[in-house]
Structure 1
Amino acid sequence: MKIGELAKETGVSTHTLRYYEKIGLIDTATKDASGHRNYGAFELDLINWVVCLKKSGMPLEKIKTYVAAFKTGDANNMREMLEAHLVKLHKQQADIEHYLDVTERKLASLKKSTTH
């Protein structure tokens, strides 16, 4: 798949995909006779996983460390990183649930005060 197709499939701009190549997050794509980048299913899956990690708050430097561990088959490091990230996500989830509860109670009290 060409870089534009990969961008469309992942929601990541072509500029960002080139940057990810430059910093070694993804391997340099093979190029066809015209010099256009070609990506496969592996890159598609990897970029989708990177997007997930990024959107869930993992910094790019940690993502690079995770991907490097993946490429070398360092399952222990990958597991440790994901376990730590999961703890962080659960904390964020608990915080958000608290904020939702407080906001809902505040809204309910405002509705009661305006109906009297």
Structure 2
Amino acid sequence: MTGLRISEVAEMTQLSMDTLRYYEKIGLIPIPKKNSRGYKEYTDAELRYITFIINLKRTDMPLASIKAYIDAYNQNEITECYQLLETHAKDVEKQIAERQSILQTIQYKLDHFKEIDGGAKKS
């Protein structure tokens, strides 16, 4: 799959076209080359790149940190890339542990309500 239009990339990534353009403007993603008709066309590699950024964003990595990672990557500063991702991985692990604790509390409450309602599930 090559030569994806911005609307196709937006649909595939569930980002708006405005968000993609903003990411281009701030240098988060490269501006794709234009085809012979003057339309931007994203390559498969660019789509994978955007997907990686989306995954970082979905784990609550701030755009400034993502940008710092991208800048370090583009400058081949591997140590800085590693440190940024390592720090973020620790943050994600902490978030997972916190959510796991919250889930346990919710499960406890659900079990409690099942007991007081004679085991009936409500939908």
**TM-score using structure 1 length:** 0.91
Q: Does 1:39 align with 2:42?
A: yes
Matched residue, 2:93:
90
Percent of aligned positions that are identical: 35
Distance in 2, matches of 1:67 and 1:27, equals: 10
Matched residue, 1:65:
68
Q: Which has a greater percent of helix?
A: 1
Distance in 2, matches of 1:6 and 1:100, equals: 34
Q: Secondary structure at the match of 1:38?
A: coil
Residues 8-87 of structure 1 mapped to structure 2, 5 A cutoff: 8-87=11-90
* Superposition CA RMSD, Å: 1.5
Deviation at 1:75, TM superposition (A): 1.0
Q: Secondary structure at the match of 1:66?
A: helix
Q: Does 1:100 align with 2:116?
A: no
Query: Where does structure 1 differ by over 6 angstroms across 4 or more consecutive aligned residues?
Result: none
Matched residue, 1:2:
5
**TM-score using structure 2 length:** 0.86
Distance in 1, matches of 2:8 and 2:113, equals: 49
Structure 2 residues not aligned, in runs of 5+: none
